[in-house]
């Protein structure tokens, strides 16, 4: 699983960081970014929670094309 934060939608609420700090962080400007690459399996559940709780719906799961 991989996730992407739409920097045009993110408003820096930080809900994703609160829910899943091992996957998300904030830039110096206060907007969310996710780790690059695959999210460890043990963090997938909380990453899905972060997607669900994002008030701006700025986080998306990147679907594998295979």
Domain at 28, CATH number: 3.30.70.20
51 pLDDT tier (thresholds 50, 70, 90): very high
pTM for this predicted structure: 0.89
DSSP letter at 55 equals: T
CB-CB contact of 58 with 10 (8 Å):
yes
What's the whole-number mean pLDDT along residues 19-40? 96
Query: Residue 21: which pLDDT band, with cuts at 50, 70 and 90?
Result: very high
Q: In whole angstroms, give the CA distance from residue 61 to residue 50.
A: 11
Q: What angle do CA 32, 60, 13 make, to 5 degrees?
A: 30
- pLDDT bin (cut points 50, 70, 90) of residue 63 is confident
Q: Is the pLDDT of residue 66 over 70?
A: no
Number of domains in the chain: 1
Q: Do 16 and 50 form a contact (C-beta atoms < 8 A)?
A: yes
Element (H, E) at 2: strand 2-5
**Domain span holding position 6:** 2-62
């Amino acid at each position: 699983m991989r996730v992407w934060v739409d920097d045009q939608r993110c408003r820096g609420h930080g809900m994703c960081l609160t829910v899943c700090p091992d996957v998300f962080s904030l830039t110096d400007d206060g907007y969310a970014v996710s780790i690059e690459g695959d999210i460890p399996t043990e963090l997938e559940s909380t990453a899905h929670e972060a997607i669900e709780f994002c008030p701006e719906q700025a986080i998306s799961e990147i679907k594998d094309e295979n």
